Amino acid sequence: MTRNILSPENLNELFSDVRREEPQNRNNNQQEFLVHFKESLNTHKHKAQLKRVYNAFKVPGSMLEIACRTGIERANICWYVRSLRKRNRIQLIEKGYCSITKQLVGIYSTDEALFCSDNNQLELF
């Protein structure tokens, strides 16, 4: 049986020195490598989560509904929706009631067939 180097137990052991203010038995280069390695793992995790959220919104839903479907925290989904809105990859389709909270919420979708066309407002008054 092979040992998984990136298992949660091994990562805790690997980064135990990073959490200390003054690392013992490590020089600066090793310490910087471990910090950079940990940050790169987070970046890969967030990219994977962003893809999962994007695909989950193919079926319109509220942020909380998507959080329950994907298992990703709702706070992260809020950030991902923000970044997708900046890139025009997701759109607020309608205001509706959440199936979980029964509150009025925004229903979002990444399905471009459901996107509204540009605003037809020609003038302010």
> pLDDT per residue over 96-125, tens digit each?
999 999 999 999 999 988 888 766 666 666
Residue 69 lies in a domain: yes
Residue 57 lies in a domain: yes
Residue 105 lies in a domain: yes
* Residue 14 pLDDT: 46
Domain that holds residue 90: 10-15+28-114
* Residue 112 pLDDT: 86
The SS3 of residue 42 is helix
Residue 53 lies in a domain: yes
41 pLDDT higher than 60 = no
**DSSP string computed for 7-25:** SHHHHHHHTHHHHSSS-SS
Q: What is the count of structural domains for the chain?
A: 1
pLDDT tens-digit map of 8-30: 555 455 445 444 444 455 566 66
Residue 78 lies in a domain: yes
* Residue 114 pLDDT: 84
Residue 125 lies in a domain: no
Letter for the amino acid at 56?
A
Residue 22 lies in a domain: no
Residue 20 lies in a domain: no
pLDDT tens-digit map of 55-92: 999 999 999 999 999 999 999 999 999 999 999 899 99
Q: Are the C-beta atoms of 105 and 63 separated by less than 8 Å? A: yes
Q: Which of 80, 42, 39, 49 lies closest to 63, judged by CA?
A: 80
Half-sphere exposure in the Cβ direction for 73 (13 Å, CA):
5
